[in-house]
């Protein structure tokens, strides 16, 4: 016989959860007492509920297992919303348990009451309100099933306080299986459609494989790589898809889209066949006018979510299904296919691509007087970590530099908020990764703007002894905002600068009990970076002064074709 | 183009708000909405009318299908179907108008279901178009109140929407 609170924690354990992120409060106290009374499920105390959701998110992205969050009612629940929305946009499996006022107080505007089911509704895959304690095991089972299957996403379980009352106990049994009659996600793709797609692929003269976050989340990286190499076709990844195809391979064109490489965007624009896998033709890829998107391409689109297919760009061959089995079947069909590839056309296509590559769109123009370019910092980071680190990022210029210059060869190593674009994501996400992989090198590439949105988590890192390396590209301004203001608003820097009120980040890190390293000369960049990463057991805040005038390029020209880009402050296509 | 979408969903708290929320969230229109439990009390049937081109309707259907509580749905306007809506309308009926209102109601096969010395309450069932037509026909009189249920419908023939 267990109380509702005990059942909840026991059910998490039975579901395979050993770590949850949270913050206590009145309505969740029975649950917190249940945590205290057992040792199977560990709890990490964050310093703000938003960080709990991002940490669980980072844990989920790096491991593939669902992240779990526990918060209290009212402000605890609403603080979690940004992190839930972040996970929702990027399809991250997550279960968020929120305390709620007692059942009889719901609707009475009680202290710390908020309608969490209502507030979270647009940003969750599904949600449950526990009506009676006996339902807890089945609700937990269903919540994890929904969060982790189909297109994954966050699920909220709202738990009224009296349901977890330690004074009332019930028989407990965790269900072994679950079936929800109204929820049946696809488990494989349609073979006929796959056949049709393979025929078009094999006959392509100017093909591109465009793969997205779904390939990472759906564990399809291995099959993607095999398929691409079997076909010999160029591959580009979205921001969310980086690492699904090895970035150092010769068939890789780099990231595509708004800040994608010249060669990736040119190849997309001129392609005759696009194989889109686990990607959703987001506006950062297609630019604003979809009628100008890849005018000559036949589009083959694989996605587990039918609503992502033909949402913005019409797919000629839609394939609904999980990416891994679909890619596997495609690979088998390609291997068995009798269609002869047009070797001559493909050789000409690669020649064209090599010509685009010669433009070296990511070449770094060194700064004057030893000033450090932000891109050089990411290169130094890549060297210091041998390209093997888990990299989390915040949102802004530094995020794009990390995506462009850290060459991810493995999936689940690049962890960023691509869809919602949540500043403040990087540090808590890094906590989740480091807790999942205590011996791995975890670095958070951030900016002085983003890091201040969840800086309080330095305390959580101290409490949990997390040796994260924070690489702060400090340009003393909201760089991406400033870039847009430079390019589109006549250089009027409205509310994007604060140079005279920045904290001393090294001193701040030290105040939290961590180490700090300041780098402001290019000549010391590599050495100091290596020195910071040599401090294996410490969190090191690496504050790097970078050129405040730097912009991210290439940059798509709004409303244009994918082939239209700014390549620097003075050049455009 | 006007569409009638019928949805079979779990009769659970929150299910209706998820469906309605989808429409406001994604900037789709709902022109009418009606919902009630079916012969199986664990299932509700919701029918809504909306307006959109094929692309928009395809998205609406896909997103409705994604809602965990939604078990099955059909766009009734894709095939031949029967649609009905019920209206209760209170009309001023005094003097010469009294007989005229009754006559128009008879033409439309409406029933007078409540009477006072100065007004009639008329019940009318039919397609939305017919109900609109009746309101048009009563233009010369004073309409005091209109209560419409919104459209309900089924496909013609053997096709059924069930689990």
DSSP letters of A315-353? -SEEEES-HHHHHHHHHHHHHH--PPP-HHHHHHHHHHH
What integer best gives the mean pLDDT of chain A?
97
Question: Does A180 sit within 8 Å of B62, measured CB to CB?
Answer: no
Query: Which residues pair with residue A550 across a beta bridge?
Result: none
Question: Does B62 sit within 8 Å of A307, measured CB to CB?
Answer: yes
Helices (H), A149-300: 191-202, 213-217, 221-231, 262-270, 283-286
Q: Verify whether residue A94 is a known catalytic residue.
A: no
Spot the catalytic one: A7, A21, A113, A161: A161
pLDDT in tens, A345-400: 999 999 999 999 999 999 999 999 999 999 999 999 999 999 999 999 999 999 99
ipTM reported for the complex, 2 dp: 0.93
Percent pLDDT > 90 in chain A is 99
Handedness of CA A412, A414, A415, A417 (dihedral sign): negative
* Facing B68 at nearest CB: one of A122, A146, A305: A146
User: Strand, helix or coil at A122?
Assistant: helix
- The yes-or-no verdict on residue B110 having pLDDT over 80 is yes
| A433 touches B: beta carbon within 8 Å | no
Q: Verify whether residue A161 is a known catalytic residue.
A: yes
Give the pLDDT score at A303: 98
pLDDT in tens, A484-504: 999 999 999 999 999 999 999
Q: Among all residues of chain A, which has the CA nearest to that of B61?
A: A307
* Facing A307 at nearest CB: one of B18, B25, B66: B66
Best of B46, B62, B69 to disrupt the A interface (most A CBs within 10 Å) is: B62
Residues A48 and B30: their CA atoms lie apart, in Å, by 39
* Facing A121 at nearest CB: one of B21, B55, B163: B21
Distances, alpha carbon A180 to alpha carbons A155, B10, B69, B148, in Å: 15, 10, 9, 35
Residues A98 and A78: their CA atoms lie apart, in Å, by 10
Average pLDDT over residues A124-140: 98
Residues A450 and A446: their CA atoms lie apart, in Å, by 6
pLDDT in tens, A256-288: 999 999 999 999 999 999 999 999 999 999 987
Give the pLDDT score at B11: 96
Contacts of B9 in chain A (CB under 8 A): 182
Contact partners, residue A428, CB within 8 Å, separation at least 6? A46, A50, A51, A52, A53, A54, A55, A58, A454, A457, A460
Contacts of A181 in chain B (CB under 8 A): 71, 163
pLDDT in tens, A306-350: 999 999 999 999 999 999 999 999 999 999 999 999 999 999 999
pLDDT in tens, A165-193: 999 999 999 999 999 999 999 999 999 99
Spot the catalytic one: A36, A38, A111, A488: A111
Contacts of A306 in chain B (CB under 8 A): 62, 65
Distances, alpha carbon A30 to alpha carbons A4, A5, A6, A13, A266, in Å: 9, 6, 9, 17, 58
Q: Verify whether residue A111 is a known catalytic residue.
A: yes
Q: Among all residues of chain B, which has the CA nearest to that of A147?
A: B68
Chain B: nearest CA to A303, how far in angstroms?
13
Chain A: nearest CA to B159, how far in angstroms?
20
Place of tokens 């205290």: A36
Give the pLDDT score at A37: 95
Residues B92 and B103: their CA atoms lie apart, in Å, by 14
Residues B129 and B14: their CA atoms lie apart, in Å, by 32
Q: Verify whether residue A485 is a known catalytic residue.
A: no
| Helix, strand, coil % in chain A, rounded to nearest 5 | 40, 15, 40
Give the pLDDT score at A288: 76
Contacts of B13 in chain A (CB under 8 A): 129
Q: Among all residues of chain B, which has the CA nearest to that of A115?
A: B14
Place of tokens 């096969």: B109
Average pLDDT over residues A47-70: 98
- A290 CB-contact burial (10 Å; exposed 0-12 / middle 13-18 / buried 19+): middle
Best of B8, B64, B66 to disrupt the A interface (most A CBs within 10 Å) is: B66
Contacts of B26 in chain A (CB under 8 A): none
- Asked if B122 contacts B89 with a C-beta cutoff of 8 angstroms, the reply is yes
- Asked if A251 contacts A234 with a C-beta cutoff of 8 angstroms, the reply is yes
């Amino acid at each position: 016989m267990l109380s509702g609170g005990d059942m909840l924690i026991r059910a998490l354990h039975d579901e395979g959860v050993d770590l949850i992120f949270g913050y206590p409060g009145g309505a969740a106290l029975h649950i917190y007492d249940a945590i205290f009374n057992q040792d199977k499920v560990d709890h990490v105390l964050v310093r703000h509920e938003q960080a709990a959701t991002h940490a669980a998110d980072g844990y989920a992205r790096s491991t593939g297992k669902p992240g779990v969050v526990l918060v209290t009612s009212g402000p605890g629940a609403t603080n979690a919303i940004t992190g839930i929305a972040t996970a929702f946009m990027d399809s991250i499996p997550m279960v968020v348990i929120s305390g709620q006022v007692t059942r009889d107080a719901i609707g009475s505007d009680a202290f710390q009451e908020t309608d969490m089911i209502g507030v979270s509704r647009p940003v969750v895959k599904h949600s449950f309100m526990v009506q009676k304690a006996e339902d807890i095991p089945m609700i937990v089972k269903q919540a994890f099933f929904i969060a982790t299957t189909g297109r994954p996403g966050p699920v909220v379980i709202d738990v009224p306080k009296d349901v977890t009352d330690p004074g009332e106990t019930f028989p407990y049994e965790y269900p072994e299986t679950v079936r929800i009659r109204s929820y049946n996600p696809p488990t494989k793709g349609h073979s006929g459609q796959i056949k049709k797609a393979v025929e078009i692929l094999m006959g392509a003269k100017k093909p591109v494989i465009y793969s997205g976050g779904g390939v990472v989340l759906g564990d399809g990286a291995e099959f993607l790589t095999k398929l691409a190499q079997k076909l010999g076709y160029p591959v580009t990844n979205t921001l969310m898809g980086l690492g699904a195809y090895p970035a150092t391979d010769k068939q890789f064109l780099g990231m595509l889209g708004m800040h994608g490489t010249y060669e990736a965007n040119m190849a997309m624009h001129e392609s005759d066949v696009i194989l889109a896998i686990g990607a959703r033709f987001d506006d950062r890829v297609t630019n604003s006018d979809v009628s100008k998107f890849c005018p000559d391409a036949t589009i083959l689109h694989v996605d587990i979510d039918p609503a992502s297919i033909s949402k913005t760009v019409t797919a000629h061959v839609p394939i609904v299904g999980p990416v891994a089995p679909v890619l596997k079947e495609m690979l088998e069909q390609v291997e068995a296919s009798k269609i002869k590839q047009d070797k001559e056309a493909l050789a000409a296509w690669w020649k064209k691509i090599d010509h685009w590559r010669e433009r070296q769109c990511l070449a770094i123009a060194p700064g004057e007087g030893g000033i450090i370019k932000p891109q050089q910092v990411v290169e130094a980071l890549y060297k210091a970590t041998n390209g093997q680190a888990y990299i989390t990022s915040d949102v802004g210029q530094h995020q794009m530099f990390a995506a462009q210059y850290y060459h991810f060869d493995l999936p689940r190593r690049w962890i960023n908020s691509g869809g919602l674009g949540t500043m403040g994501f990087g540090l808590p996400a890094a906590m989740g990764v480091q807790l999942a992989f205590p011996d791995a090198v975890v670095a958070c590439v951030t900016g002085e703007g983003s890091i201040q949105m969840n800086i309080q988590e330095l305390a959580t890192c101290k409490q949990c002894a997390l040796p994260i390396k924070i690489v702060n590209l400090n340009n003393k301004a909201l760089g991406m905002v400033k870039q847009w203001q430079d390019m589109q608003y006549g250089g009027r820097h409205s509310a994007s600068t604060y140079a005279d009120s920045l904290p001393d980040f090294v001193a701040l890190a030290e105040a939290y009990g961590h180490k700090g390293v300041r780098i402001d000369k290019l000549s010391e960049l590599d050495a100091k970076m290596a020195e910071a990463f040599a401090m294996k057991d410490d969190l090191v805040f690496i504050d790097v002064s970078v050129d405040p005038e730097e912009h991210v390029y290439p940059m798509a020209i709004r409303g244009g074709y994918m082939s239209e880009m700014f390549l620097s402050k003075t050049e455009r296509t | 183009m006007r569409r009638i979408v019928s949805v079979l969903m779990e009769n659970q708290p929150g299910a209706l708000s998820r469906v309605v929320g989808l429409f406001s969230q994604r900037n789709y229109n709902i022109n009418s909405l009606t919902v009630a439990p079916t012969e199986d009390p664990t299932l509700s049937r919701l029918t809504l009318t909306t307006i959109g081109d094929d692309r928009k309707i395809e998205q609406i259907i896909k997103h409705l299908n994604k809602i965990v509580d939604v078990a099955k749905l059909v766009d009734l306007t894709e095939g031949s179907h029967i649609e009905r809506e019920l209206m209760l309308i209170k009309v001023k009926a005094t003097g010469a108008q009294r007989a005229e209102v009754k006559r128009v109601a008879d033409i439309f096969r409406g029933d007078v279901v409540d009477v006072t010395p100065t007004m009639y309450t008329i019940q009318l069932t039919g397609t939305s178009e017919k109900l609109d037509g009746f309101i048009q026909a009563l233009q010369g009189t004073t309409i005091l109140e209109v209560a419409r249920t919104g459209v309900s419908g089924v496909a013609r023939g053997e096709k059924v929407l069930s689990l």
